[in-house]
Amino acid sequence: MTLVGHLINGRVIADGTRRQAVFNPATGQSTKQVELASKATVEQAIAAAQAAFPGWRNTPPLKRARVMFRFKELLEKHADTICALIGEEHGKITHDAMGELQRGIENVEYACGAPELLKGEHSKNVGPNIDSWSEFHPLGVVAGITPFNFPAMVPLWMFPMAIVCGNCFVLKPSERDPSATLYIAQLLQEAGLPDGVMNVVNGDKEAVDTLIEDTRVEAVSFVGSTPIAEYIYTRATAHGKRCQALGGAKNHAIVMPDADMDNAVNQLVGAAFGSSGERCMALSVAVAVGDAAGDALVSRMQEAMQHLKVGASSDSRNDFGPVITKAHQEKVVGYIDSAEAQGATIVVDGRRTQVDGYEDGFFVGGTLIDHVSHDMTSYREEIFGPVLQVVRVDSMQEAMALIDAHEYGNGTCIFTRDGEAARHFSDNIKVGMVGINVPLPVPVAYHSFGGWKRSLFGDLNAYGPDAVRFYTRRKTITQRWPSASVREGAEFSMPTME
């Protein structure tokens, strides 16, 4: 059986302490084992990063960027291999995995602009013969902790920018689907990155706690569930670290009476069920304004969902695949059960979905639930599965109040033809990422990604311009060379330009 190890100081190693099975969620069978790093192994990775830091921080940004240019080429060259690994361990259909990888590559492209992004600012003569300028200095050793649902894209949100800013990186990917992440890190080595600049440790809570407690780690980036995000943010900041921790979501789509209903349905089908709903930006609640809109939405969704194809990742004709584990399959089904028990109507039921030839797979079919209310468990909590719930309200104001009242504020959208309504919605809704007739408003690589409320802990968002700020410290230097022929006396008042 294949063993997935750690990448430390340029070599793949296995410490042999603990191992965990890695499953193919389409077959339900264990295909590999992954090493779970001990505290000592994580400390070895941190030490490798710390040793590599002095040389890497003094490498010119242009040379760092050239590594990223070569890395981008290798990611594109080996895209089929990366996507196959994602499919085998996550279950994501090949076309969806390709989309994930492409969004990750776009972050590498942005990182290639490091010489421009790190230029700093300069002002001449801020005072008599005084110049002032700012510089962006790397932090040192930084860490990333990433989730199972995007084993390629989310790590690529983090380490390319951290590394081109001059830092050295320790990545702890999900132990559920580690192979694609490790392979990508090896491609970065192949691109010419010096040993120790990028390290990967697979593991569980022991590895996480070591990263957030070790004094050599200056900053931690995290993406995952809200309880873990809050834990990591609280612990990391208590240990004096900079931290950004992205948590869960409950993304609502308002469907207005004037919406292009055919377009809204097409967009909702993809946004709700793509990647089996295992996206923090998945649309999981449709808020229909008025019963006429609600009836039309449910009727057309029900019809559209008849054509959904669920199956293994290797068949690109499928729309989405299994969920990640047997336990998560049971959790998603449990949420559907609870909605039914609490009075909602199951319009399309995916609880007993089976795929021919993959009877032991962790499949949940696309599920549509109508007449959901805000007090139901399935509404309050993040399901993270292929489930779309419909809530009916009487007005746009009521719909917005419903969204604003939820503890999560990651993403939202509105389907409407009314520009005034769209502008009012985008100006006033208390959510970090907003779409107007765009169901998955995930920012492009040169903007930044992040929600509001309990969807983000920390002051800076992921990737884009905020990544430069997160992975660097600003140093401002003020310089004066006094004239040898003029000697000024001591001044005791605060210096000004008056």
At residue 492, the pLDDT reads 82
My answer on whether 405 and 321 are in the same domain is yes
Answer whether residue 207 is part of any domain: yes
Integer angstrom CA distances of residue 145 from 99, 202, 280: 22, 10, 15
Closest Cα to residue 89, out of 208, 13, 174, 158?
Answer: 174
Answer whether residue 482 is part of any domain: no
Q: Identify the CATH number of the domain in which residue 141 sits.
A: 3.40.605.10
At residue 236, the pLDDT reads 98
Sheet holding 121-127, edge to edge: 121-127, 130-138, 472-480
At residue 127, the pLDDT reads 87
At residue 498, the pLDDT reads 67
Cα–Cα distance measured from residue 447 to residue 66, given in angstroms and rounded to the nearest whole number: 22
Closest Cα to residue 41, out of 20, 12, 61?
Answer: 12
Integer angstrom CA distances of residue 43 from 26, 144, 174, 323: 35, 15, 18, 33
Yes or no: say if 291 and 62 are a contact pair by the CB < 8 Å rule: no
Q: What is the pTM of this model?
A: 0.95
My answer on whether 230 and 273 are in the same domain is no
My answer on whether 85 and 141 are in the same domain is yes
My answer on whether 31 and 124 are in the same domain is yes
Answer whether residue 330 is part of any domain: yes
Closest Cα to residue 467, out of 58, 108, 7, 61?
Answer: 108
Q: Identify the CATH number of the domain in which residue 424 sits.
A: 3.40.309.10
My answer on whether 243 and 296 are in the same domain is no
My answer on whether 327 and 184 are in the same domain is no
Answer whether residue 432 is part of any domain: yes
Residue 425 DSSP SS3: helix
Give me the catalytic one of 168, 243, 280, 413: 280
Answer whether residue 299 is part of any domain: yes
Closest Cα to residue 173, out of 383, 6, 1?
Answer: 6
Beta strands in 139-216 (DSSP E): 141-145, 168-172, 198-200
My answer on whether 419 and 466 are in the same domain is no
My answer on whether 146 and 15 are in the same domain is yes
Residue 117 structural domain: 2-247+455-477
My answer on whether 338 and 364 are in the same domain is yes
Answer whether residue 450 is part of any domain: no
Answer whether residue 418 is part of any domain: yes
With b for 16 or more beta-carbon neighbours within 10 A and e for fewer, the 259-287 pattern comes to: bebeebbebbbebbbbbbbbbbbbbbbbb
Tokens of 407: 């503890």
pLDDT tens readout for residues 150-182 = 999 999 999 999 999 999 999 999 999 999 999
* Type of residue at 388: L
Is position 280 annotated as part of the catalytic site? yes
Total number of domains constituting the chain: 2
Yes or no: say if 320 and 274 are a contact pair by the CB < 8 Å rule: yes
pLDDT tens readout for residues 383-431 = 999 999 999 999 999 999 999 999 999 999 999 999 999 999 999 999 9
Yes or no: say if 135 and 311 are a contact pair by the CB < 8 Å rule: no
My answer on whether 220 and 256 are in the same domain is no
Low-confidence ranges of the chain (pLDDT < 50): none
My answer on whether 224 and 344 are in the same domain is no
Tokens of 438: 């765009």
At residue 486, the pLDDT reads 67
Answer whether residue 367 is part of any domain: yes
My answer on whether 56 and 164 are in the same domain is yes
